[in-house]
């Protein structure tokens, strides 16, 4: 087991740029990672729920296939920090997976020990996943706990309750991605970011208001304490993502 890292790829004192890797084939995945490396971004997000969407393989084959793909990416681009994310259908993902296999997949990636950070959805959390989080922590893998809502922006009081739950189960980074209906919703996300920064100054935060209406939060959220913004070099993984070249000038 490698020694525990003192710092993961997501830190609270700056805003990093992350590129989602969403290609449907190993060739396209590797090409997207290569472009991210050339663009000198801070980290990439591996999104196998998007890889598997058009793979025509059974769910039983997901885990060995994904483990092999992660190994391939690492073998070619070992210096690029990786955030591993399987986004469930309930929170905007592209491919269904059972709750049991979601846990098995996270366990397999932690056991593989090649990524620097891993995403766990708050509402997918179970006691079994809690054990995976503890193992990841011991191995120095940074744990991002997330909540996504592609329909609306809940009241800020509810979001604070979610943040408290994330912290209570061991999150090392907390993430909120919310869909606005009004400009007040966009302001609510910026206010949430500021309040989380004040409440948990030691804990990195990732926040965004999605879609065209919320796009400005991806370029100015760092002013309020956002620590990662997701940028595109072509394919996107969520509505409203901004080109990396633009982000490099603004964050």
Which listed residue (74, 175, 194, 248) is catalytic? 175
Model confidence at 2: pLDDT above 50: no
Answer whether residue 129 is part of any domain.
yes
- The pLDDT value recorded for residue 3 is 39
Answer whether residue 205 is part of any domain.
yes
- The pLDDT value recorded for residue 242 is 87
Model confidence, pTM = 0.94
Please state the domain count of the chain: 1
Q: What is the C-alpha to C-alpha distance for residues 225 and 200, in angstroms, rounded to an integer?
A: 10
Active site residue 131: no
Answer whether residue 89 is part of any domain.
yes
Which listed residue (148, 160, 194, 248) is catalytic? 148
Model confidence at 68: pLDDT above 90: yes
CA distances from 29 to 32, 102, 230 (A): 5, 21, 17
Answer whether residue 85 is part of any domain.
yes
Answer whether residue 7 is part of any domain.
no
Read off the pLDDT of residues 205-231 as tens digits, 9 standing for 90 and up: 999 999 999 999 999 999 999 999 999
- The pLDDT value recorded for residue 56 is 87
Model confidence at 6: pLDDT above 50: no
Any idea what the CATH number is for the domain that residue 211 is in?
A: 3.20.20.70
- The pLDDT value recorded for residue 4 is 41
Answer whether residue 87 is part of any domain.
yes
Domain that holds residue 111: 16-250
Answer whether residue 72 is part of any domain.
yes
Mean pLDDT (the chain, rounded): 94
Q: Picking from 83-87, 221-225, 237-241, which range would have the lowest pLDDT averaged per residue?
A: 237-241
Active site residue 248: no
Q: What is the mean pLDDT of residues 152-174?
A: 97
Answer whether residue 11 is part of any domain.
no
């Amino acid at each position: 087991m490698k020694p525990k890292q003192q710092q993961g790829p997501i830190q609270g004192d700056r805003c990093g740029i992350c590129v989602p890797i969403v290609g449907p084939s190993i060739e396209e995945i590797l090409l997207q990672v290569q472009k991210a490396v050339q663009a000198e971004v801070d980290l990439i997000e591996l999104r196998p729920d998007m890889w598997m969407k058009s793979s025509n393989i059974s769910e039983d084959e997901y885990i060995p296939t994904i483990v092999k793909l992660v190994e391939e990416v690492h073998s070619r681009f070992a210096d690029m920090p990786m955030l591993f994310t399987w986004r469930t259908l309930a929170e905007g993902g592209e491919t269904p997976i059972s709750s049991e296999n979601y846990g098995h997949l996270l366990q397999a990636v932690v056991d593989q020990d090649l990524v620097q950070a891993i995403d766990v959805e708050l509402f997918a959390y179970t006691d079994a996943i809690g054990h995976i989080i503890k193992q990841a922590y011991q191995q120095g893998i940074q744990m991002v706990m997330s909540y996504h809502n592609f329909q609306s922006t809940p009241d800020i009081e509810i979001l604070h309750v979610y943040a408290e739950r994330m912290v209570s189960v061991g999150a090392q980074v907390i993430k909120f991605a919310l869909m606005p209906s009004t400009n007040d919703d966009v302001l609510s996300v910026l206010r949430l970011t500021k309040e989380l920064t004040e409440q948990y100054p030691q804990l990195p935060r990732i926040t965004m208001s999605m879609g065209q209406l919320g796009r400005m939060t991806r370029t100015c959220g760092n002013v309020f304490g956002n620590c990662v913004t997701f940028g595109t070099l072509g394919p996107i993984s969520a509505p409203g993502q901004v080109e990396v070249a633009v982000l490099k000038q603004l964050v």
